[in-house]
Amino acid sequence: MQSNSPRQARDGERSPAPEPEAALDPDAMRQPLANAWYCVGPSESFSSTKLRAVDLDGEQIVIGREASGDVFALRDRCPHRGMALSKGRFDENGLTCPFHGWRFGTDGRCRDVPTLSSSDQADFSRIAVQRFPIRESAGFAWVNPHLGPPTGGDLPAVPDLGFKAAGRLVLELVVEASFDLTTLSLVDPGHVAFVHDSWWFRPSKTLREKVKTFTPTPHGFTMTSHGTATSSPVYKLLGGAPQVEIEFRLPGVRLERIEAGTRRVANYTFATPLGRNRTMLTNALYWNMPALNLLKPLARPLMRQFLTQDQQVLQHAQAGLDRKPTMVLFGQGDLPSQWYFRLKREALAAQAEGRTFRNPLVQQQLRWRS
């Protein structure tokens, strides 16, 4: 998205005035948060025998797993001639560049330059590859690509699951659209009836007024737990009257938690910036009922259809924003999109000032038709 200062027309309850943007770097508001955790893939995709190259916000990163089982993340570039280290050999304890055999530990430090002669006096121990913080949670690896000096303040937490999953289904889809535009789809309730009107998800063609309460939560907001109709085939699988809670948190994480008695389902979606106008959408569906594992062959194509619908509409919208980079956010249904920009602005201000993040939102009840 080329502009993060959309014209705003509020409907319903008033929100506190936004903080002035003059004190912030305007370009920072147009970019993904530099200092944050981003999903880079399922944990099982990183092994102790093979390196994997990933893109993250324009940076090429190589990820592997040490002999101890811990994952590591390094810049995918040998400092000698720029060769991708992911193309070389890996033996759990080190990476070998395929160009000239330079060897690096998983800590990024250079361990050997085999082409040196006995008369060379060069000290290669001071050569290092940039190492990135990485952690695992909810079955995924998360990397913070921040390269600048340490900043103050706290960062949004990586998601956890909260129950023992009996099964999981993961789909990844690249969207040729900006990170902000893609992330807005995670908090936009108005598009669902028009983009995702599928027989298996929401067969009704009639728009109904929705009334939901939104509460500020750490680095985001939550549509508080509420009962929902059981007419959807997805909800019927749970039995009873499920309770649904949907949380959004920075930088681009949507966590939908569904409970019906002791039955649990979680539908998590993560946006990961790959580069300019290129974003990875990762959707993970978890459940604690072993019997649902039998439905995985059916659920996978339905999930792909759902994500593909988002992919196609976002790519067309990005083409429109490329021609005219402005948006009009209008009505209560667009307030969550406005909240995203306010949260992002506060995160940037908190990091710049070295202080704790202060959520600028207040509890509100929103009404929209969907």
Query: pLDDT tens digit string along 210-229?
Result: 889 999 999 999 998 765 55
Q: How many CB atoms lie within 10 A of CB 220?
A: 21
Domain segments of the chain: what residues? 7-33+158-369, 43-143
- What are the pLDDT digits (tens) for 117-176? 888 878 888 999 999 999 999 999 999 999 877 776 789 999 999 999 999 999 999 999
Contact 310, 198 (CB under 8 A): no
Contact 255, 218 (CB under 8 A): no
Nearest to 280 by CA among 194, 172, 360, 204: 172
Which residue is associated with the tokens 């600048």? 148
Confidence of residue 234 (pLDDT cuts 50, 70, 90): low
Which pLDDT score is estimated for 224? 83
Query: Rg of the chain's alpha carbons, rounded to an integer?
Result: 23
Mean pLDDT, range 7-21, rounded to an integer: 41
**CATH level 3 topology of 43-143:** Rieske Iron-sulfur Protein (2.102.10)
Max Cα–Cα distance, the chain, nearest Å: 81
Which pLDDT score is estimated for 278? 97
d(CA 256, CA 247): 6
Amino acid at 176: E
d(CA 212, CA 312): 28
**Which of 13-17, 59-63, 106-110 is predicted least confidently?**
13-17
**CATH level 3 topology of 7-33+158-369:** Naphthalene 1,2-dioxygenase Alpha Subunit; Chain A, domain 1 (3.90.380)
Q: pTM to 2 decimals?
A: 0.89
Q: How many CB atoms lie within 10 A of CB 169?
A: 18
Centroid of chain to Cα 221? 16
Which pLDDT score is estimated for 194? 85
Confidence of residue 12 (pLDDT cuts 50, 70, 90): very low
Residue 68 zone, left/alpha/beta (φ > 0; ψ -120 to 50; rest): alpha
- What are the pLDDT digits (tens) for 65-82? 998 999 999 999 999 999
Which pLDDT score is estimated for 226? 60
3-state SS of 188-215 is: CCCCHHHHCCCCCCCCCCCCCEEEEEEE
- What are the pLDDT digits (tens) for 243-270? 899 999 999 999 999 998 899 999 999 9
